Amino acid sequence: MKNNLFNNVLSKYSYCGDFSFQTGDTLKDQSKDVPDLPGIYYILRVKGGKSDLVYVGKSGTMKQDGNFKKQFLRKRINNKQEGMYREQYFNQKINQFGIDSLEVFWFVTYDNNHRDIPCFVEGQLIQDYFNINSRLPEWNKEF
């Protein structure tokens, strides 16, 4: 159930993947194949056979010297959102809104093939979403 909205930006990244999360899943297990490299990710909410984008995020903050801070994709996906560990956050949202599953798509944007700073790519995705919806994705509180 990939989101076609972002194909124009993300189609060039071949090091990518996805996983599903449902109640009872362990996020660390579900995300075990996500690399510890800089990139972006987005989350789709699946409910009643329909999906909608709820979050766009990035990992790998670049410092002034061109090096990255330590938190890359797998660690970022498993970190915190709104003050709670993301697994707990996902379960809360699933239970609160009767969500069937969450689909997480990730893309490495900075490696031997590409040198795209994750924050830049995240900004492109947020802008594309905003241009269509005149708001941010539901779980993106600010940008």
| Total domains present in the chain | 1
CB 75 within 8 A of CB 126: no
Specify if 67 maps to a domain: yes
In angstroms, rounded to a whole number, what is the distance separating the alpha carbons of residues 4 and 26?
Answer: 27
Specify if 89 maps to a domain: yes
- Phi and psi at 42, nearest 5°, equal -140, 160
Q: What is the pLDDT of residue 116?
A: 97
H/E stretch holding 131 reads helix 118-133
Q: What is the pLDDT of residue 126?
A: 97
∠ CA(127), CA(9), CA(104), 5° rounding?
Answer: 85
Asked if residue 15 has pLDDT above 70, the reply is yes
- Phi and psi at 74, nearest 5°, equal -60, -45
Alpha helix (H) residue ranges in the chain: 7-10, 27-30, 73-77, 86-97, 118-133
Q: What is the pLDDT of residue 2?
A: 62
Q: Where does the pLDDT of residue 1 fall: very low under 50, low under 70, confident under 90, or very high at 90 and above?
A: low
Q: Where does the pLDDT of residue 4 fall: very low under 50, low under 70, confident under 90, or very high at 90 and above?
A: confident
Token pair of 6 as six digits: 């972002």
Specify if 74 maps to a domain: yes
Specify if 143 maps to a domain: no
Q: What is the mean pLDDT of residues 74-90?
A: 95
Instruction: Tell me the residue range of the domain where 68 lies.
Output: 4-10+17-133
Specify if 139 maps to a domain: no
Specify if 138 maps to a domain: no
Taking all residues of the chain, what is their mean pLDDT, rounded to a whole number? 94
Q: Where does the pLDDT of residue 7 fall: very low under 50, low under 70, confident under 90, or very high at 90 and above?
A: confident
pTM: 0.94
Specify if 48 maps to a domain: yes
Q: What is the mean pLDDT of residues 78-103?
A: 95
Pairing of strands 16-21, 101-108: antiparallel
Specify if 59 maps to a domain: yes
Q: How many CB atoms lie within 10 A of CB 119?
A: 15
H/E stretch holding 41 reads strand 39-47
- What are the pLDDT digits (tens) for 17-41? 999 999 999 999 999 999 999 999 9
